[in-house]
Amino acid sequence: MPNPSKAAVHTDSAPAAIGPYSQAIIAGGMVYCSGQIALDPATGKLTGGDVRAQAERVLQNMSAVLEASGSSLAQVVRCTVFLKDMNDFAVVNEVYAKYFEGTIPPSRACVAVSELPKSVDVEIDCIALAS
């Protein structure tokens, strides 16, 4: 039975979930966006060879999910960045900053992990205000 206090978000402009989860959930005036990796939404295949290209695709995917929810990157209040190698921090930070330019940057955590889905180098999730 559907829960009227939460709604799933789905868009073909971002990769389909690769497990039993939603691209995002809208609940309590917030959008909880699942972690995005560098999958091309059209093909479902990994894009970009280096961490810069992966970060670009990740943030494009996250933006598409937020737009499908009626929100946007400007409404993001919290992000978590997962890196396979903390030596990639500066490059990912540079790409990330471009996507939040002109907005109040969200709070953020960045952690290094031993492995990410599909062996990607970066994954980002977020929480945003629902518009």
Active site residues: 110
What are the residues whose beta carbons fall under 8 Å from the beta carbon of 110, sequence distance 6 or more? 80, 81, 82, 83, 89, 92
Q: Distance between CA atoms of 44 and 18, rounded to whole angstroms? A: 9
